[in-house]
Structure 1
Amino acid sequence: MHQAIVIFEVEGGSDKGPDGHRRDTMPIVDAVRAAGWHAEVIYYHPDRAAEIFDTVVGGFDAYISRVNPGHIPGGEKGYFTLLTQLADAGVIGMSTPADMMAYGAKDALVKLNRTPLVPADTAAYYDVADFHQTFPTSLSYGERVLKQNRGSTGEGIWRVRLADRDLAASVTPGTALPLDTELKCTEAVDNRSRHTTLGEFMDFCDQYIIGDNGMLVDMRFMPRIVEGEIRILLVGAEPVFIVHKKPAEGEDSFSATLFSGAKYTYNRPEEWPELLAMFEQARPVIAAKLGQNQNVPLIWTADFMLDTAADGSDTYVLGEINNSCVGFTSELSMGIQEKIAAEAIRRVETANLAVPA
């Protein structure tokens, strides 16, 4: 065993600091080194894939991927191929392409729609024709949220409703709406609304379905999102931080991103006992439904929204899971980087113990 972990990054992108790294990368490197292991950063580029493979296989036990999918030169395919080749060569992946797709893709919600975590009418469109045939009927049941697969900071996340409130109140659920129905659509990236027709908007959304890993998730709008989205940040199976993200004031505001003006409050997990108790029961279900085993990613998040149960009590609805490249700059003062280093080393040591001598 080399007792060495490589952290993958890519050059450039809005997530980099003055030193060219993500602001949460070097704290991980320093924490791994403080634990007595070697750690360094390697920038991925498709032109260097063969060289990177040889370097990592020859000198490292594992990798931690800190790459925003939208910043990968040449796209995800080449990067995922390299990660898969490394895993085949015995390098432990955190996270693997399979984990990123299972936990990071928006259709994770569809895989959980037969659990109490997600509304049963949550669906995904992988085909443009299916989207155009099904969504006009889906919208007849009330306001919907469409989520593109690989969006970040709210890009391609749309709240969709009928512009005419009187019409919305009179629509018979289950009836396909005409393509000239006027819509009001609000994008989460900035809470700005646009007025368009159903047909025009669906044509616009085709871009999210076309291409590798393209899809749109169709989920009912949760009105209590205005009270805030609650994000659980986890290292492995351990919740280490909770962020309460409250959208900016305003009728159209529903986005919980900082860019849109949402206000963030950072809490320790024990400050949300009911949510924590619910998630402790839900986590094994999530792992069983999404993963190939009971393992969970090294760094991941689960975002919840408040809803009201039939008896009037509060309940939580899962809105999203993130895994590909979760940022945690604001939590560095809480020592999350030490937890990440300790868990990463534990996983390597556990994996090596499982290998026959």
Structure 2
Amino acid sequence: MKKHVVFFEVEGGTDKGPDGYRPDTLPMLKSLRKRGWMAEVIFYADEKKDEIFERVVQDADAYVSRINPGNLKDESAYFQLLRQLCEFGVKGMPHPDAMIGYGAKDALIKLRDTPLVPEDTFAYYDIASFKKNFPKSLKKGERVLKQNRGSTGEGIWRVQLASDSEEAEEVSLNATLRCTEAKDNHVEEHTLETFMTFCEQYIIGENGMLVDMPFLPRIKEGEIRLLMLHKTPVNVVHKKPAEGEDAFSATLFSGAKYRYDSPEEWGGLVRSFLDSLPVIMERLGGYNLPLIWTADFILDTDEQGHDCYILGEMNCSCVGFTSQLSLSENVADEIISILSEVESMEQLNNR
């Protein structure tokens, strides 16, 4: 083992501190160096892709991706580099296809027939199916539409009927809707027809699609985020939306209040989620779990009147822990543990 880990960042972006780095990157480097490992940051750029590949393959055991794909002009080139590194034996944290699988809202569709996701959750991969089926699902009640790769609540809409007394099987195109975006809880009124036309932008393009889920009113009690370090929950963030009839967003930018709890305080949720990990891994491509990732849950009530938890989304592209930088010590230990396990497996296979 080379005992060398590379952290990928990209220059610029709103996630950087005054020194040009993400605030949680350098603490991880320092924690690894304290343990006798070499750790460095490489700033990715498309024009340096070949040079970066040669250097990392020669020097490193693993990479840790700390790039928000939204800060890249073309994420496909970056993911191509990561795939090549994995193919040449560099341990991906995470593998780029795991990053896509766990980070896209499409994951909810792959988990639809599990207790994690409601059965009446739908996916629209083309405009025709969206326009054909969304008026029918909206007839069932309030819905939430989610674009596939959005972040910070952008492109996530709570959709309510403002007026529709028809007895038809689907909502009419001229029905008035109240549409609230999770980005900042602002409300817009549209007809169903104009809103669906507006939403076409989320379906067009590479990885474009929309997820259509029932709105869960108990979001007002708070969204529960599990912060996972590989296969271990390290904390729980309880995110309570701002007050207001239409507010449902659990982002800080929208005014939500955050509370940090220990996993032990949410024992039922944690146990059920850990029990689900084998199924999640299988459904999302069979890749190793990401190094740092999150799973967001919303409280609901089951048919027996008991509390249950519905998976709203997962994220592993570049999960931050800037409010708890001491976790860098745990991250360093987990990186070393993962790589030691990989080395042990390789030695067994070579006997």
Contact 1:182–1:197 (CA<8 Å) still a contact in 2? yes
**Which residue is 1:292 aligned to?**
286
Q: TM-score of the superposition, structure 1-length normalised?
A: 0.95
**Which residue is 1:19 aligned to?**
19
Q: How far did residue 282 of structure 1 move?
A: 2.0
Q: How far did residue 172 of structure 1 move?
A: 4.6
**Which residue is 1:161 aligned to?**
160
**Which residue is 2:337 aligned to?**
346
Q: Please, which moves more after superposition, 185-194 or 124-133?
A: 124-133
Quote the Cα distance in structure 2 between the aligned partners of 1:19 and 1:127. Answer: 43
The yes-or-no answer on 1:257 pairing with 2:256 is: no
**Which residue is 2:49 aligned to?**
49
1:77 is aligned with what amino acid? S
Instruction: Give CA deviations for 1:269-318 in whole Å, capped at 9, x if unaligned.
Output: 1111222222222222222222315x311111110010011121111111
**Which residue is 1:196 aligned to?**
190
Q: What is the correspondence of 1:159-308 to structure 2 with a 5 Å cutoff? A: 159-164=158-163, 167=164, 170-172=165-167, 175-293=169-287, 295-308=288-301
Q: Please, which moves more after superposition, 340-349 or 19-28?
A: 340-349
**Which residue is 2:90 aligned to?**
91
SS at match of 1:163: strand
Give the fraction of aligned pairs with identical amino acids, expressed as a percent.
58
Contact 2:297–2:311 (CA<8 Å) still a contact in 1? yes
Contact 1:140–1:171 (CA<8 Å) still a contact in 2? no
Runs (4+) off by over 3 Å: 170-173
1:311 is aligned with what amino acid? Q
Q: How far did residue 323 of structure 1 move?
A: 0.8
The yes-or-no answer on 1:59 pairing with 2:59 is: yes
Instruction: Give CA deviations for 1:65-101 in whole Å, capped at 9, x if unaligned.
Output: 01101001x3111000000111111111001111011
Quote the Cα distance in structure 2 between the aligned partners of 1:70 and 1:138. Answer: 31
Q: How far did residue 27 of structure 1 move?
A: 1.0
2:13 is aligned with what amino acid? G
Q: CA, structure 1 residues 287+172, in 2 after alignment: closer, same or farther (shift >3 Å)?
A: farther
Contact 1:188–1:255 (CA<8 Å) still a contact in 2? yes
Instruction: Give CA deviations for 1:236-257 in whole Å, capped at 9, x if unaligned.
Output: 1100000000000000100000
SS at match of 1:141: coil
2:290 is aligned with what amino acid? P
Q: CA, structure 1 residues 199+345, in 2 after alignment: closer, same or farther (shift >3 Å)?
A: same
Q: How far did residue 126 of structure 1 move?
A: 1.0
Structure 1 counterpart of 2:306, from 291, 307, 313: 313
Contact 2:182–2:249 (CA<8 Å) still a contact in 1? yes
Number of matched residues?
348
Instruction: Give CA deviations for 1:91-126 in whole Å, capped at 9, x if unaligned.
Output: 110011110111111011111110111100111111
2:51 is aligned with what amino acid? E
RMSD: 1.2
Instruction: Give CA deviations for 1:294-350 in whole Å, capped at 9, x if unaligned.
Output: x31111111001001112111111111111111111122xx3211111111222222
SS at match of 1:305: strand
**Which residue is 1:141 aligned to?**
140
Contact 2:94–2:289 (CA<8 Å) still a contact in 1? no
Q: CA, structure 1 residues 172+305, in 2 after alignment: closer, same or farther (shift >3 Å)?
A: farther
Quote the Cα distance in structure 2 between the aligned partners of 1:351 and 1:277. Answer: 26
Contact 1:248–1:263 (CA<8 Å) still a contact in 2? yes
Contact 1:69–1:150 (CA<8 Å) still a contact in 2? no
SS at match of 1:272: helix
Contact 1:6–1:39 (CA<8 Å) still a contact in 2? yes
Q: Please, which moves more after superposition, 308-317 or 236-245?
A: 308-317
Q: How far did residue 171 of structure 1 move?
A: 5.0
1:218 is aligned with what amino acid? D
Unpaired runs of 5+ in structure 2? none
Quote the Cα distance in structure 1 between the aligned partners of 2:99 and 2:131. Answer: 28
1:345 is aligned with what amino acid? I
Quote the Cα distance in structure 1 between the aligned partners of 2:211 and 2:345. Answer: 39
2:285 is aligned with what amino acid? G
**Which residue is 2:32 aligned to?**
32
Q: CA, structure 1 residues 86+160, in 2 after alignment: closer, same or farther (shift >3 Å)?
A: same
1:340 is aligned with what amino acid? V
SS at match of 2:139: helix
Unpaired runs of 5+ in structure 1? none
Quote the Cα distance in structure 2 between the aligned partners of 1:134 and 1:36. Answer: 57
Q: CA, structure 1 residues 171+227, in 2 after alignment: closer, same or farther (shift >3 Å)?
A: farther
1:84 is aligned with what amino acid? R
